[in-house]
């Protein structure tokens, strides 16, 4: 996984959400994913016991954020 706050596109969304403190290991959940802009460099740091690495030339990036409670309720109660 590469980045902190903004992650390289080949990083795990779940691990990024744990890294940001939005999700917790073994709990699962729903997050918002926002596609980002290319970056010449993304920086890494260990956070919430998940280590991310520095990376160069991230042509595609993303951010994760919390969902609102209405979105979470709908995802739990809507039929497939």
Query: Mean pLDDT of successive 10-residue segments in the chain (80 residues)?
Result: 87 92 88 90 84 83 82 57
The structural domains of the chain, ordered by start, are: 3-77 (2.170.130.20)
Question: Which neighbouring-strand residues pair with 55?
Answer: 42
Query: Is this prediction's pTM over 0.85?
Result: no
Residue with tokens 């980045």: 3
pLDDT for position 13: 92
34: helix, strand or coil: strand
């Amino acid at each position: 996984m590469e980045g902190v706050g903004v992650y390289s596109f080949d990083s795990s969304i779940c691990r990024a959400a744990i890294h940001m403190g939005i999700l917790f290991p073994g709990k699962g959940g729903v997050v918002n994913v926002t596609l980002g802009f290319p970056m010449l460099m993304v920086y890494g740091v260990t956070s919430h016991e998940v280590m991310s690495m520095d990376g160069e030339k991230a042509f595609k990036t993303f951010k994760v954020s919390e969902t609102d409670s209405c979105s979470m309720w709908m995802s739990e109660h809507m039929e497939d």
